[in-house]
């Protein structure tokens, strides 16, 4: 069922609720921590599956003045929630079981909500918004993503030159280290080349900022909880990065752009990303599941991202698809018919 586009209130309510639940959980424990965990890990999947609703497309050229305000609120929430969670886990305030719930709830929030917000922020032309997005990535020890995503992934997506495009049959556990290391080094090379082309001084290399902010984050963790605080911070960062890499893996698995007679690749189009446009996960993840249109129009605000007839769809909510991707045999078996259908539709162009 396709209807009107999701209103901004839906994006705000879905993406900001976890911050409130986590904060109340750190303060009061108990049921609030269960609520935070279940909201992120269970409710999103249940609502998507029980209510088969797909929001419609916003009118072309529609503007959303509140869109950036929601991004900033989520971004600032992530900046606060991360050290707050480290304090909650390393202090004696909560019981052991509550600390596990807090870790999982915060990890899912950082991966499912803060990451899409940071991703939107680094695509904004405003320097302040970009810096907030880069700060979030640096705090989860993944700062290079702010460079690699814009300068490498968007240019080379769905080609062998992109480390964040999963190849057909490649398991997630093979993809993840290749994507992380490839993104780091190719992002640095792209930043180096960008600086070499510009005559004016650009200040410190972005990678210096990423490293400096990561070290400052770990210093804050140590100040909060000592060595245990550092371990918890690193574990939360690893949990977040795992989800980010899973999203990249799922959204581009097996899709490839055709090579043209001149040796170049065809332009990126809607058919080069998998989409999972379920309504609640779309609200929670700030329309990140509408991935095709983002690649076709990187500067388009998230409430305006559209679905086209050419955009390939997956039947599972993105969080569920990411969970399934961690089991390689299951993932390959489930994806085989979808990938075969995509190849059949584009057989005349698929020459890679």
pTM: 0.94
- Look at residue 73 and tell me whether its pLDDT is greater than 80: yes
pLDDT single digits (tens) 208-247: 999 999 999 999 999 999 999 999 999 999 999 999 999 9
The residues, any chain, with a CB within 8 Å of residue 348's CB and separated by 6 or more, are none
| pLDDT band (50, 70, 90) for residue 351 | very low
Q: What is the 3-state secondary structure (H, E, C) of the chain?
A: CECCCCCHHHHHHHHHHHHHHHHHHHHHCCHHHHHHHHHHHHHHHHHHHHCCCECCCCCCCCCCCCHHHHHHHHHHHHHHHHHHHHHHHHCCCCCHHHHHHHHHHHHHHHHHHHHHHHHHHCCCCCHHHHHHHHHHHHHCCCCCHHHHHHHHHHHHCCCCCCCCCCCCCCCHHHHHHHHHHHHHHHHHHHHHHHHHHCCCCCCCCHHHHHHHHHHHHHHHHHHHHHHHHHHHHHHHHHHHHHHHHHHHHHHHCCCCCCECCCCCECCCCHHHCCECCCHHHHHHCCCCCCHHHHHHCCCCCHHHCCCCCCCCECCCCHHHHHHHHCCHHHHHHHHHHHHHHHHHHCCCCCCC
Cα 128 from Cα 121, distance rounded (Å): 9
Class of residue 296 by CB neighbours under 10 A (exposed 0-12, middle 13-18, buried 19+): buried
Q: What is the mean pLDDT of residues 243-259?
A: 96
| Count of alpha carbons within 13 angstroms of residue 137, beta-carbon side | 29
Per-residue CA distances from 99 to 22, 88, 96, 108, 219 (Å): 11, 7, 5, 14, 21
pLDDT single digits (tens) 2-13: 568 889 999 999
CA-nearest of 297, 245, 255 to 160 is 255
Q: Using an 8 Å Cβ cutoff, are 303 and 6 in contact?
A: yes
CA 14 to chain centre: 16
Residue holding tokens 């997005």? 133
- Look at residue 128 and tell me whether its pLDDT is greater than 50: yes
Residue 299 structure tokens? 């500067």
Helices 206-252, 67-90: axis angle to 10 degrees equals 100
- Look at residue 17 and tell me whether its pLDDT is greater than 50: yes
CA 251 to chain centre: 10
CA-nearest of 31, 139, 30 to 93 is 30
pLDDT single digits (tens) 29-54: 999 999 999 999 999 999 998 988 88
Cα 172 from Cα 305, distance rounded (Å): 27
Please report the pLDDT score of residue 4 as a whole number. 81
Q: What is the mean pLDDT of residues 260-267?
A: 90
Query: Domain spans of the chain?
Result: 8-55+66-345
- Look at residue 1 and tell me whether its pLDDT is greater than 50: no
Q: Using an 8 Å Cβ cutoff, are 36 and 101 in contact?
A: yes
pLDDT single digits (tens) 331-340: 999 999 999 9
């Amino acid at each position: 069922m396709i209807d009107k586009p999701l209103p901004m209130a839906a994006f705000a309510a879905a993406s900001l609720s976890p911050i409130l639940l986590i904060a109340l959980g750190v303060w009061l424990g108990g049921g609030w921590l269960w609520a935070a965990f279940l909201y992120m890990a269970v409710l999103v999947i249940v609502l998507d599956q029980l209510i088969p609703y797909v929001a419609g497309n916003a009118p072309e050229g529609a503007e959303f003045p509140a869109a950036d305000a929601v991004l900033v609120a989520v971004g600032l929430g992530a900046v606060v929630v991360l050290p707050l969670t480290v304090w909650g886990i390393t202090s004696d305030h909560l019981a052991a079981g509550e600390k596990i719930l807090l870790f999982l709830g915060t990890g899912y929030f950082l991966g499912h909500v803060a990451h899409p917000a940071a991703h939107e922020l680094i695509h904004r032309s405003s320097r302040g918004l970009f810096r907030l997005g880069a700060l979030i990535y640096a705090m989860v020890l993944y700062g290079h993503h702010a460079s690699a995503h814009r300068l490498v992934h968007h240019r080379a997506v769905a080609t062998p030159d992109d480390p964040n495009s999963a190849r057909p049959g490649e398991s997630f556990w093979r993809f993840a280290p290749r994507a992380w290391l490839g993104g780091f080094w190719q992002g640095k090379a792209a930043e180096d080349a960008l600086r070499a082309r510009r005559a004016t001084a650009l200040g410190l290399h972005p990678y210096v900022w990423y490293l400096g902010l990561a070290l400052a984050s770990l210093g804050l963790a140590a100040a909060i909880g000592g060595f245990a605080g550092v371990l918890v911070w690193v574990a939360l960062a690893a949990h977040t990065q795992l989800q980010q890499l899973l999203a990249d893996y799922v959204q581009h698995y097996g899709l490839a752009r055709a090579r043209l007679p001149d040796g170049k690749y065809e332009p990126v189009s809607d058919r080069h990303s998998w989409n999972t446009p379920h309504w609640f996960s779309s609200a929670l993840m700030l329309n990140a599941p509408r991935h095709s249109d983002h690649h076709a129009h990187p500067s388009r605000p998230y409430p305006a991202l559209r679905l086209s007839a050419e955009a390939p769809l997956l039947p599972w909510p993105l969080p569920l698809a990411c969970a399934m991707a961690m089991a390689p045999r299951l993932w390959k078996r489930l994806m085989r018919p979808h990938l075969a259908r995509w190849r059949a539709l584009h057989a005349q162009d698929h020459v890679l």
